[in-house]
Amino acid sequence: MDTRLPYYWYLDSEKKAEYDSTWVILFDWRAKQLNRIRTEIKNSRVIEYPQFYHYAYINREADVAREMRKFLTEK
C-alpha cells in the first residue's frame, strides 16, 4: 500500500493495523477495476498520480486538463 490518508501517521499501532487490513480489500478491488478498464474498454487510458486521491482533478488540474485534451483530440 503506497497510498495512505494523511491522518494515518497519527494513529496508534493498533489503529494502523486495522486501517491496513481494511484498505487491502479496497486496493485489491481498485486494481481489478483498473485492469478491467485497461482490457475491456477500447481506446481507454488509465493515468495514475501517486500520492493523490479522488481529487487529483483539483490538486493536479493542469495535468488532468492536458491528459483530457490529449485523449479527446486523438483519432
State the average pLDDT over residues 51-71: 84
pLDDT in tens, 35-60: 999 999 988 888 887 767 677 788 88
pTM: 0.60
What is the band of 1 on the pLDDT scale with cuts at 50, 70, 90?
very low
- Alpha carbon distance 32, 26 (integer Å): 10
In the predicted structure, residue 17 carries a pLDDT above the cut 60 = yes
Q: Give the pLDDT of residue 41.
A: 92
Residue 10 pLDDT greater than 90, yes or no: yes
